[in-house]
Chain A
Amino acid sequence: MVHLTIDGKHIEVPEGTTVLRAAQQAGIHIPTLCDHPHLTPYGGCRLCLVDVKGARTLQPSCTLPATEGLEVTTVNEQISDARKFVLSMIFSERNHFCPYCQVSGGDCELQNAAYEQGMTHWMIQPNWNTYKVDASNPYFSYEANRCILCRRCVRTCQELVGNFTLGVEQRGAASILVADLGVPLGESTCVSCGMCVQNCPTGAMMDRRAAYRGLSADAETIKTICTGCSVGCGIEVTIRDNNIIAINGDYDSPVNQGVICKIGRWQSLEAMDSGVAVKTPMIRKNGELVSASWEEALAFASKAIDTTRQSLAALASSSLSVETLYAFKKLFVDGLAIQSVSASEMGKYTNAQKSLAVTNGVFEGHLSALNNADCVVTIGEDLIHQHEVVGFMIKRNLPKGTALICVDTDGSAYGNLPNSVIKINPGTEQQLVKGLIAGMVKLGVKSCACDGCKNPDQVVQDAANATGVESTLILDAAYILGNAQSPVIVYGSTVTSDVDASTLTTIKCLSDMISAEMISVKGNANSVASAQFGLDQPVDMHTAKAAVIVLGDKQPCDELLNAVSKVNTKIVFSAYQNALVETADVVFPVNNWAEEEGHFINMDGTVQKRSQILAANGQGKASAQAIHDLAAQLGFSIDDHWMEALQSTPASVTIA
């Protein structure tokens, strides 16, 4: 610990803390522009200058390490004059004529800093250069005329997202932000996660949907979670007048530490903007769907269920809340005792873990293990296009020297980033993992007592033959993996869909050998909960006479539409109009993700609550409530002891 004095206040901070962070911890405000609490200090804008006793000139507090006995002054006339100079330089660089900007009036950190220093004007004329606006990305545009070259976006792209798309071209006054080697953003390697937009201090990076919809000062911000996939990222939703303005990553979330992907930031809103809501319950009369009251619809549905109970199938989306899935399970499995009940993924992402958890208990770790991993093995999962945030967590550590071994049937989705790309024949994951284990034994980096490892040369050779990979490549990967201190193995559906868990057992053996953390991605937002409730059995809808389908706010996939095309009576719970609703016999309007609250269990077992953000309009009910109502109509009552039910079955992750 070091002790320093800032503005007469004695502060104790750990060694390595910068003066700026020390001041912030003590509640002392120092204006900044290029600094961001989650990025490495850069020292480019020079606004955070402070007076250090004994120093020759003013010092930038963002890069100055706190040292014992340092005496710092953050406010005096000299500092204020220097900050005005710094701001004048920034204002005169490009087009900073505030009235035209969407963030002017409170959301712009540059404007706020100028007001704070009491500036009313700047003394130098701007250089009148004009820059093109890059509006080639569908979700955000880059307005270079407002850019102050603080490089927050560049550092965000490198350090948080690991995508390395943004960079600065040219030098000095000609410096300009570019994507890749100067291509438009829309044609670049940008993954549209929008973290740069979230971190931009001015109006240069513009969220196209949120721009000019008002300032965040007179909007409300609610913390909740994204339910786009099983990662369960924390998000902050900005709303005004029952409208969502923007979604940002929540830096306080332990799951994603602020980073979200395009699904969480933009596509969830896109679906909401373009979806046509089901406003009232509907019943098919004389071949046409007509509006009805809830009572009528419930009576119609309960009658249909009662008469077709023997050949009824029920399916719920695994993106629904725990409460909804629990009510669904209680009604159809426990109450009506129907055989064909499942959730939409039917165990694709959870079968193997569930089998192995019966004998092994909890064996999977937390996502945060990726932050400290020095070697990551991905098996059969494309984390560039699915579960992108997990991919970000891996990629952003690569410059620190984290090794990446990518095992997939399609080669590497990571381009040339991995240290080792192992392209295997389909279905040979288990042989490859065996090969890796034997390879480590052969190289002498690890030892294994099992029978399979008695003759490691033979096992490696067998693995090479089966997988179609050269044995040297397996040995290379085994060497990297065997020498890792804190390895992490990430695997996906090719491993997890197997009920026998044979591949997973081998991976578990590998993980025990090198004491690696295991993490599996789990598809939809509530796949874990679905599996815990037993909603993971394969269901054949083709033979059913009637079907109850709880879609929530999801769209039906083609497979589902095909499967239910021959079903006579369809009872659908949906938030939006879609192809399934059009062919349904009874439709119950339910709320979309923003209108109903509920709990979700993410891929590493964290139980998180999604808050209600918008007030529901129309006659839509929360999905759980709609099922409760249907149960009441059928004469069942449903409790809310879902937590006990979740924990009653062994799980591969700690559910807490």
Chain B
Amino acid sequence: MMTKSVTTSNLAALQMKYFHQFQQRRIHVQHFTFWGELRPQHLKETRVILQHSGMIDPREIQEYLAVGGYSALAKALAEMSPESVIDEVLRAGLRGRGGAGFPTAKKWQFTRNSPGLPRYLVCNGNEGDPGAYMNRLLLETNPHSVIEGMAIAAYAIGAERGLIYCRSEYPSTIQTMETAIEQAYQLGLLGKNILGSDFTYEMDLARGAGAFVCGEEGALMESIMGRRGEPRVRPPFPSIRGLWAKPTNINNVETLANVPHIILHGAEWYAGIGMENCSGTKTFVVIGDVEKPGIIEVAFGTTLREVIYDICGGIKGGKQLKAIQIDGPMGGCLPSAYLDMPISYDSMQAVGSLLGAGGILVLDEDTCMVDLARYFMEFTQGESCGKCNPCRNGTTHMLEILTRICHGQGRLEDLDMLEWIGEYLPQVSFCGMGQAAPEPVLSAMKFFRDEFEAHAVEHVCPVHHCRMPIHAMAAAA
């Protein structure tokens, strides 16, 4: 391991040196990946943040340098002021990839303008949605792209300390990230006077303790500070009063991974990808009843039909598509009528859902929507932190009712009860989790009400998935 620090002047030479080593090595190690799910790029995919994943060894910083790594940081430090970095990201139209799609540059601006020092930068890697592993793959195949993005973001907002919050269910991610941070320190890409400039940025890794709700900004900060992972009262927002009561900026892993590309290639290039008001690409993990499930990266504006039928090879066994579930355990179900909808934050909001972090669950005709709703409610109920009464108890009651319905012990009033709880939870819950908790149930009831009624009233599961009492089955026969 070399110990000489990298500076702006010798970066290019080092990159070239490692590139030649890398070229020789590449003959022997093609598609270096821990992940079978990362397949060769499909024609309809646009790979920006995943472009080097699988091509380089994440355990060696030299390989990242060989593909031009840390050039964006060098460019930002040498040629750009923090304001112009923020401006570049603003013009690129980068929106937060955590799910809500808030403009990243605006968030940075708020933190930068907020009084109080030091400021903190936190990378939110608490990816908890069942079946989603976009952040995990990115962090495990190209950790330095996130570190570089964080360094640029820290430079832009004037933060001297950064933390990446990683869930402890990802031990190999933590290992990879720790190695990467250590190597970046050794090369002087983190720490004091980065790349010979006067910019100082210290970075560390914080482990989660297995709570989904710690992906919520307030709970995440509480968790980092060693307290119980419960959301905080907002306002004040983290940009005003965050970690240890100092201004704190929290961005998703994927958001930060986009930053080096924007700085390197310019805002105009980035804004050219995707749609207007929703530029760039988004990684998705497509799971469920498709021929080729796995991780994909597509430009915004790609339709669900292209994702499911072209990139992922269509529904398994040639069956019919029943529904698509986006935005993890708290997202809504979309029936097949929405297949031609282009994927973007705004289009999703228009149909009453959020884009979410990037899980797409594809369901074929054999799926029982009631049991699916029950499954998601089981997840949410188990992950509710218990701080606010409506989420803690509302999810418990909804799960109880759904379980009852799935066991053939439901009654028609149960559906009214589900709707009653589902109506109030979004209004009265403390954080986004409780507010979105009934969404899978409500959307499934909206589009597949007949299935719920069959379960609750006739005690029959139309797709023969739920185990019903014998007398009900006999009556139906």
Contact = CB atoms under 8 A, between A and B. Distances in A.
Interface of A: 41-46, 49, 57-58, 60, 63, 65, 82, 85-86, 89-90, 92-93, 123-124, 127, 148-149, 167-168, 170-175
Given A85-B424, A93-B393, A124 B417 contact: yes
A60 B385 CA distance: 18
B233 A63 contact: yes
A9 to B, nearest CB: 24
Interface stretch (B43-51, B283-291, B426-434): B426-434
23 contacts: A42-B233, A43-B388, A45-B389, A46-B428, A46-B430, A57-B428, A58-B427, A58-B428, A63-B233, A85-B390, A85-B424, A86-B390, A89-B392, A93-B392, A124-B417, A149-B392, A167-B228, A171-B211, A171-B213, A171-B229, A171-B386, A172-B386, A173-B386
Contacts of B358: none
A94 to B, nearest CB: 10
B396 A173 contact: yes
Interface string B415-427: 0010011001011
Contact of A57 (B388, B396, B400, B426): B426
B395 interface: yes
A262 B381 CA distance: 40
Interface of B: 211, 213, 228-229, 233, 235, 381-397, 400, 417, 420-421, 424, 426-430
Chain B CB within 10 Å, residue with most, of A89, A90, A123: A89
Contact of A168 (B382, B386, B426): B386
Contacts of B391: 172
The 10 closest A-B pairs by CB, nearest first: A175-B386, A172-B384, A89-B393, A85-B424, A63-B233, A173-B396, A57-B427, A172-B386, A46-B428, A171-B386
Contacts of B213: 171
B430 to A, nearest CB: 6
A124 B397 contact: yes
Nearest to A91: B393
A86 B430 contact: no
A168 B392 CA distance: 14
A44 B231 CA distance: 10
B300 to A, nearest CB: 25
Given A58-B427, A171-B385, A172-B381, A43 B233 contact: yes
Contacts of A86: 389-390, 424, 428
A89 B400 CA distance: 13
B368 to A, nearest CB: 25
B388 to A, nearest CB: 5
Contacts of A171: 211, 213, 229, 383-386
Nearest to A87: B389
Dominant secondary structure at the A interface:
loop
Contact of B389 (A44, A58, A123, A127): A44
B387 A44 contact: yes
B233 A175 contact: no
Given A123-B417, A172-B395, A149 B386 contact: yes
Contacts of A90: 389, 393
Nearest to A124: B397
Contacts of B383: 171-172
A44 B427 contact: no
A44 B230 CA distance: 10
A175 B392 contact: yes
B410 to A, nearest CB: 14
A168 B385 CA distance: 11
Given A82-B427, A171-B211, A41 B233 contact: yes
Given A43-B430, A49-B428, A92-B397, A174 B386 contact: yes
A26 B383 CA distance: 40
Contact of B388 (A44, A92, A93, A123): A44
B386 A92 contact: no
Contacts of A167: 228
A60 B397 CA distance: 22
A534 B300 CA distance: 88
Contacts of B229: 171
A77 to B, nearest CB: 14
Contacts of A168: 228, 386
A336 to B, nearest CB: 64
Contacts of A175: 386, 392
Contact of B400 (A58, A127, A149, A172): A127
Contacts of A44: 387-389, 430
Contact of A46 (B384, B390, B396, B417): B390
A173 B235 CA distance: 26
Contact of A172 (B228, B382, B390, B420): B382
A60 B392 CA distance: 17
Contacts of B387: 42, 44
A124 B393 CA distance: 11
Nearest to A63: B233
Contact of A92 (B393, B420, B427): B393
A40 to B, nearest CB: 9
Contacts of A148: 389
Contacts of A173: 381, 384, 386, 392-393, 395-396
A86 B393 CA distance: 9
Contacts of B429: 46
B167 to A, nearest CB: 15
A82 B426 CA distance: 11
B425 to A, nearest CB: 9
A89 B390 CA distance: 6
B428 A85 contact: yes
Nearest to B429: A46
Given A46-B428, A57-B426, A58-B428, A149 B389 contact: yes
Nearest to A62: B233
A46 B434 CA distance: 12
Contacts of B390: 46, 85-86, 89
B325 to A, nearest CB: 22
Chain A CB within 10 Å, residue with most, of B383, B391, B395: B391
Contacts of A92: 393, 397
Chain B CB within 10 Å, residue with most, of A41, A60, A171, A175: A171
A124 B427 CA distance: 19
Chain A CB within 10 Å, residue with most, of B392, B417, B428: B428
B424 A82 contact: yes
Nearest to B229: A171
A65 B389 contact: no
Nearest to A78: B427
Nearest to A47: B389
Contacts of B385: 171-172
Given A123-B420, A172-B391, 6 more contacts: A85-B421, A92-B397, A93-B393, A127-B396, A171-B211, A173-B384
B220 to A, nearest CB: 15
A60 B388 CA distance: 11
